[in-house]
Amino acid sequence: MLSSLKHIAPMVLLAAAAGLAPLFMPVGQPNAYIFLVLVMAGITALIAFSRTGYVRNMLLFTVGFALVFNPRKFFVGEDYYLFLGGIPAYYVSLMDLCLLALLFVAPAGEKSQGARAPLPKVQLVLLGVYFLTLLLSLYNAIDSELVFTQFVFELKCCLLFLIVAFHLDNMDSDTVFERSLLPMFYGLGASLILEFAVVLAEYVNALPDSFSFLGIQVAGFREKLGADLVLRVGGTYRHPNYLAVPMAALLMPVSVMALSTRGAKRLLFLLAAGSAFASLLLTLSRGGFLAAASTVVVFLVLIACTPQGRAWVKRHSKLLAGMTAAALVVLASLSGQIYDKIVLSDPVNISARADLNNLAISMIETFPVVGVGLNNFNMAGPEFGYYNIYEAAAGLAPVVHNIYLLMASEIGLLGLGAYLLFLLSVAVFGWNAFKREGGGEHALLLAALLSGLSGYFVADMFGPSLRKLEIASQLWWHLGVIVLLSRAILAAPAAGEGRR
């Protein structure tokens, strides 16, 4: 045992140095040669150590953790988040390093020799069309560099989807769940709990203003509701409306994980679900509340479609009742602030958003095919009247609070159509797998993931969250997990009834 540790320890230290050293480099452009040496050293250690299976689990845990609680200090590149509506610079982040490492770490164990579910070719074709429209938007772009930086960002999101959906595992649904999904959900659950701890500290004013550590920044703001100034927390997402999106979309998946596991695992996911719910409420985000409502409704409709789903509800009725009671207690404690937010919000806020939507519609009418250029909304905006009026009144560049109008204005109706059809194809693929499974435990997780997808869809009607690094990564990961689990379910031999 000691001799094994002597061989393993240097590899672990080398991998840790490669992964963590860039965090402590100066912000901006670190020495590219040093960075390359560190990355290659880490990859070498990962390949050498990957046969044990531990590296793969650690990487999957890190991917899940970094989806929510992610250091946003770039190893190569510049800060992006001060730019409204897109990514203005190339960068390499913690998630990029994890994805790169996963490409070099094969799944533990042997690949299944049985029949494999066919690749969802429609999804791949739609992805191709979508990325083609991103490049075609160069035609009207004022700043082509902004097109390319956003294109690289979208490409990395697509790579995340492809790795999760098609590279992580090739086994049956039980093995995929235990070997690939659980480690990521462990990291996700831990990060949701840690995010809530930060949110709670922000809510009770326990953190200094502009708190920042290794690129992790915490920020919210106070909004006047009636006669009171009410704090709306933003956590590490730095804005309450952005924080609300993942909390709403991940609420049902982690809740189902809590009901589908036992012991310490159940406790972890119960705390994660409670953390997501409480963080969501503290944002006072109306769009987030609607997104959360859609996830719950879609999940209930899906599980009501099968006898096994209804039986699952009865089987976990006591725990569900306890979770519901706890949620109602938290909701009641914040009901006054939530009511004020819904009733007393400044109507100018809503009218300004409507004007911005009309501005985007004007751009779509003027450039319906290829748009004004990816990430070029603010470049083309001054050519349209309301843009300058808003900028003068608000003191900052406008942001269209509807990602679908923003996309259509920048890449045209063809690009928006390809993107929406891609989302639909993933949902249909998941629905087919859900029906095939017939309501077993894995099908219920799939139903929760599909309901979470509806949460992203609804939330994006009220904000440009898809242009945020963290939320875009979460959405594309979410899509990848749906395809991964669906392929595993569809690969199984047809059966008269699902797993119970």
Token digits of residue 385:
């009247």
Q: What pLDDT does residue 497 have?
A: 46
Cβ atoms < 10 Å from Cβ of 170: 21
Domain boundaries, the chain: 117-348+398-491
Q: Tell me the whole-structure pTM to 2 decimals.
A: 0.83
Q: What pLDDT does residue 477 have?
A: 94
Q: How far apart are the first and last CA of the chain?
A: 40
Handedness of CA 89, 94, 100, 103 (dihedral sign): negative
Three-state secondary-structure class, residue 56: helix
Give the chain's length: 500
Q: Which among 404, 392, 422, 391 has a CA at the least distance from the CA of 364?
A: 404
One-letter identity of residue 148: F
- What's the burial of 206, exposed, middle or buried (CB within 10 Å: 0-12/13-18/19+)? exposed
Q: What pLDDT does residue 454 have?
A: 92
Q: What pLDDT does residue 132 have?
A: 94
Kindly report the backbone phi and psi dihedral angles of residue 191, in degrees, each rounded to the nearest multiple of 5, phi listed first.
-70, -35
H helix count then E strand count, the chain: 21, 6
Q: What pLDDT does residue 55 have?
A: 75
Tell me the CA distances in angstroms from 12 to 34, 58, 382, one per residue in order: 19, 11, 53
Tell me whether strands 91-92 and 216-218 are parallel, antiparallel or unpaired. Answer: unpaired
Q: What is the mean pLDDT of each run of 10 residues along the chain (500 residues)?
A: 42 48 48 55 59 73 83 50 63 75 64 55 89 92 88 89 85 82 91 91 80 68 66 82 91 90 89 92 86 88 77 69 68 60 59 79 90 87 70 62 91 94 93 79 88 91 80 92 90 53
Give the C-alpha separation, 89 to 104, whole Å. Answer: 26
Query: Contact, 104 vs 42, CB < 8 A?
Result: no
Query: Contact, 474 vs 249, CB < 8 A?
Result: yes
